[in-house]
């Protein structure tokens, strides 16, 4: 039964939907997908059209807003909004180290999770749409990986859409994971250089932390094994609007002077573990490279393999010279399943997914070229997470798509600026 309650300025209704695990077998095993309906208290839902929000990820639940935070207030002027926890996340049937052993061993777990990509997410959304709207199409808003899902939606079920909005999430239609990371490392290097230019004192701080980690290989208070490579991955923050500042403040309190000498401070350990742990969103790590897999080629830990082509990211080499230690960005590596106690039980499952070859195509270039759905996309110039050149090629491949390219925001621009207002104006022909 749906539960309805209030927050400042909004009425929320929690809804649970039953969908097939495998949409090719609609009468087979069922799982649950959770959605939170949000309407304005002043205007109510009434006959307002629906807007479905698809969160970034993979593996992230829909954002938990309080009231009309971020873009939600603007959306509620025109829509009733559904915040959907994509399968396996949030209040949907969970998939994590605690629940996946119920499926069986690593092989059974990998087979199960192979059905958690954008194609299945879109089919879930279509069943939910028919339940909520009586068959009327809805507008869909996709942030980051949510934009990958929107592109899949346009490829497979455009009849379900009245309009499509994408922010920082136009994927390449045909790039292999190797191509994605080969394009990513130079962008990451630019973001790190910009951070060090803003905070030159961090060059020495990062080096000192890396030297300490290389010598001591500490286990953080929460159980995370903080290796040099794991420390470098804190650079994922540099893709967000305030990420450089957040990283700087983390580094300035890295050490505490103790009776036994310098140790990593409790404050640093707490913040680092919070930033690095996948406990709240393990599917982000387990499924990350599979979001690029569609050509019957294994992803094979592409980020780890391609990194060897960029030796400037080798911390050991940097520490042996006077080169700065570089952070890395949005990538998942095999060592994460050794360092992170929330991932270590899933190490074999992740390896099986990395070697899997039966991935089917996610996008239909021919159908996208004939698209009739109004589409607008914000492409963030030099986005650290999604390659701008890949996004623009896809934008040109989708008939009628209107693109807004901006360097005013980073990848999380939807949270920080009037991005939704601009996209709505574009998709309605008002800009």
* Closest to 334 measured CA to CA, from 278, 298, 286, 297: 286
Task: Considering the candidates 342, 390, 411, 412, report the single residue annotated as catalytic.
Answer: 411
Would you say 375 and 315 are in contact if contact means Cβ atoms under 8 Å apart? no
**Maximum distance among all alpha carbons in the chain?**
70
144 is catalytic: yes
C-alpha to C-alpha distance for 83 and 290, rounded to whole angstroms = 24
C-alpha to C-alpha distance for 126 and 122, rounded to whole angstroms = 6
Structure tokens that stand for 358 in this block? 């039966």
Q: DSSP class of residue 94?
A: B
User: What count of other Cβ atoms lies within 10 Å of the Cβ of residue 319?
Assistant: 15
C-alpha to C-alpha distance for 336 and 29, rounded to whole angstroms = 31
C-alpha to C-alpha distance for 12 and 290, rounded to whole angstroms = 33
Q: DSSP class of residue 105?
A: S
Structure tokens that stand for 35 in this block? 């959605």
Task: Considering the candidates 92, 144, 331, 342, report the single residue annotated as catalytic.
Answer: 144
C-alpha to C-alpha distance for 116 and 33, rounded to whole angstroms = 12
Q: DSSP class of residue 117?
A: S
* Closest to 394 measured CA to CA, from 424, 425, 364: 364
Distances (CA, A) of 401 to 139, 140, 166, 170, 249: 15, 14, 10, 11, 40
C-alpha to C-alpha distance for 52 and 164, rounded to whole angstroms = 10
Q: What is the dihedral of CA 154, 112, 342, 337, to 10 degrees?
A: -90
Residue indicated by tokens 């406990």: 279
Would you say 304 and 313 are in contact if contact means Cβ atoms under 8 Å apart? no
Task: Considering the candidates 27, 322, 358, 430, report the single residue annotated as catalytic.
Answer: 358
411 is catalytic: yes
DSSP letter string, 330-377: S---TTHHHH-TTTGGGHHHHHHHHT---PPP---HHHHHT--S-EEE
288 is catalytic: no
Would you say 417 and 409 are in contact if contact means Cβ atoms under 8 Å apart? yes
Phi, psi (rounded to 5 degrees) for 117: -95, -175
Nearby residues of 314 by Cβ (< 8 Å), 6 or more positions away: none
Nearby residues of 249 by Cβ (< 8 Å), 6 or more positions away: none
C-alpha to C-alpha distance for 325 and 233, rounded to whole angstroms = 12
User: Catalytic site residues?
Assistant: 144, 358, 411
């Amino acid at each position: 039964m749906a539960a309805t309650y209030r927050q400042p300025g909004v009425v929320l209704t929690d809804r649970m939907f039953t969908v097939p695990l495998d949409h090719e077998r609609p009468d087979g095993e069922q799982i649950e997908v959770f959605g939170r309906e949000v309407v304005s208290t002043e205007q109510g839902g009434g006959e307002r059209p629906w807007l479905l929000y698809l969160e970034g990820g993979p593996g992230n639940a829909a954002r938990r807003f309080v009231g009309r935070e971020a873009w939600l207030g603007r959306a509620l002027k025109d829509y009733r909004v559904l915040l959907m926890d994509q399968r396996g996340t949030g209040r949907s049937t969970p998939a994590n180290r605690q629940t996946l052993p119920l499926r069986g061993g690593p092989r059974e777990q990998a087979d199960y999770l192979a059905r958690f990509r954008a194609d299945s997410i879109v089919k879930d959304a279509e069943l939910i749409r028919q339940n909520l709207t009586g068959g009327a199409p809805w507008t869909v808003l996709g942030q980051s990986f949510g934009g990958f899902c929107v592109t899949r939606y346009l490829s497979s079920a455009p009849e379900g859409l009245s309009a499509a909005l994408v922010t920082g999430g136009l994927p390449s239609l045909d790039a292999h994971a190797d191509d994605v990371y080969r394009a990513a490392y130079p962008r990451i290097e630019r973001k790190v250089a910009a951070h060090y230019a803003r905070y030159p004192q961090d060059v020495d701080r990062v080096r000192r932390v890396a030297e300490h980690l290389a010598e001591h290989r500490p286990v953080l208070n929460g159980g995370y094994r903080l290796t040099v490579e794991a420390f470098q991955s804190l650079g994922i923050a540099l893709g967000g609007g305030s990420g450089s500042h957040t990283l700087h403040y983390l580094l300035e309190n890295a050490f505490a002077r103790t009776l036994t000498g310098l140790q990593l401070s409790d404050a640093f350990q707490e913040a680092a573990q919070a930033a690095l742990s996948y406990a709240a969103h393990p599917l982000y790590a387990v499924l990350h490279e599979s979001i690029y897999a569609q050509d019957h080629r294994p992803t094979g830990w592409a980020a780890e393999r391609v990194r060897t082509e960029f030796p400037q990211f080798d911390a050991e080499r940097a520490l042996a010279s006077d080169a700065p230690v570089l952070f890395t960005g949005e990538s998942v590596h095999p060592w994460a399943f050794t360092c992170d106690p929330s991932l270590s039980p899933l190490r074999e499952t992740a390896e099986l997914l990395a070697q899997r070859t039966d991935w089917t195509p996610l996008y239909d270039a021919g159908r996208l070229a004939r698209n009739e759905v109004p589409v607008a996309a914000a492409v963030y110039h030099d986005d650290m997470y999604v390659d701008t050149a890949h996004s623009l090629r896809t934008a040109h491949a989708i008939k009628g798509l209107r693109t807004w390219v901006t360097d005013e925001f980073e990848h999380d621009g939807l949270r920080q600026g009037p991005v939704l207002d601009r996209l709505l104006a574009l998709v309605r022909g008002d800009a």
